[in-house]
């Protein structure tokens, strides 16, 4: 009887492992969906771009630093497209005092990234004043209005581009056609996906896996305990 109980526990654990793999595969498949959106980046003087860990509405950039925005079609699997301009505060802000300014880089993306009927403007840079406690969104608004947001405060347009749309899913053909110039490190934070699922699609997968595994383990433990009491 005890051997049979142990066998059942092992079987449940194996089933949990298989279910976990299936859940992860399903999430990975969903992450291949491509989206057209503005991503938000940060950089220190002399350093490369780093995908921001929070949105521009709450991030407070360091004085003398750089913030960047890139419009592109990207998937969670291939990472987000970073701004193509070099990250260099001195080149953007020239003789301005680093203590009160932040460099802003806005990359409107390629023609392949553009929504139908729209033409991306040329990339631009600007030196924005940075009052104490100012957010990246406030710095951006001071040099690249008009900004457009959706009802959930997701950044949809910079300097009027694009005129419509906000983080919409695109077809596989559109995603493959916009792959040029889209290299960059992946992360969580200001993407359309991040705004909709709490910032990290991977965490959803691990939550599903943890739940499946925990239930299987609890059931197995209950069975073992019940058999022991009955012996």
Together in a domain, 153 and 211: no
Together in a domain, 68 and 6: no
Q: What is the 3-state secondary structure (H, E, C) of the chain?
A: CHHHHHHHHHHHHHHHHHHHHHHHHHHHHHHCCEEEEEEEEEECCCCCCEECCCCCCCCCCCCCCEEEEEEEEEECCCECCCCCCCCCHHHHHCCCCHHHEEEEEEECCCHHHCCCCCCCCCCEEEEEECCCCCCHHHHHHCCCCCCEECCCCCEEEECCECCCCCCCEECHHHHHHCCCCCCCCCCCCCCHHHHHHCCCHHHHHHHHHHHHHHHHHHHHHHHHHHHHHHC
Together in a domain, 152 and 119: yes
Together in a domain, 129 and 83: yes
Together in a domain, 119 and 213: no
The band of 112, judged by pLDDT with boundaries at 50, 70 and 90, is: very high
Together in a domain, 181 and 219: no
Together in a domain, 107 and 216: no
Together in a domain, 121 and 150: yes
How confident is the model at residue 106, as a pLDDT? Answer: 98
Mean per-residue pLDDT, 119-131: 97
Together in a domain, 68 and 13: no
How confident is the model at residue 164, as a pLDDT? Answer: 95
Domain count, the chain: 2
How confident is the model at residue 75, as a pLDDT? Answer: 78
Together in a domain, 142 and 224: no
Asked if residue 15 has pLDDT above 50, the reply is no
Together in a domain, 163 and 222: no
How confident is the model at residue 209, as a pLDDT? Answer: 35
Together in a domain, 192 and 214: no
Mean per-residue pLDDT, 158-180: 81
- Boundaries of domain holding 226: 2-28+205-230
């Amino acid at each position: 009887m005890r051997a049979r109980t142990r066998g059942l526990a092992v079987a449940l654990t194996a089933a949990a492992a298989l279910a976990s793999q299936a859940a992860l595969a399903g999430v990975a498949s969903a992450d291949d969906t491509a989206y057209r959106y503005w991503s938000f980046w940060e950089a220190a003087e002399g350093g490369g771009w780093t995908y921001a860990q929070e949105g521009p509405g709450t991030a407070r950039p360091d004085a003398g630093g750089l913030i960047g925005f890139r419009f592109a079609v990207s998937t969670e699997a291939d990472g987000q497209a970073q701004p193509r301009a070099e990250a260099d505060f001195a080149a953007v802000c020239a003789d301005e005092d680093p203590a009160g300014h932040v460099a802003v880089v806005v990359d409107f993306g390629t023609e392949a990234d553009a929504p139908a009927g729209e033409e991306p403007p040329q990339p631009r840079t600007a030196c924005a004043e940075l009052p104490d406690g100012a957010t990246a969104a406030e710095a951006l608004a001071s040099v690249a209005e008009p900004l457009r947001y959706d009802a959930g405060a997701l950044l949809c347009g910079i300097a009027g581009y694009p005129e419509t749309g906000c983080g919409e899913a695109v077809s596989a053909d559109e995603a493959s056609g916009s792959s040029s110039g889209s290299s960059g490190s992946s992360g969580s934070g200001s993407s359309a996906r991040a705004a909709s699922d709490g910032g990290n699609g991977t965490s959803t997968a691990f939550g599903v896996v943890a739940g499946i595994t925990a239930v299987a383990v609890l059931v197995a433990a209950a069975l073992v305990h019940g058999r022991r009491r009955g012996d």
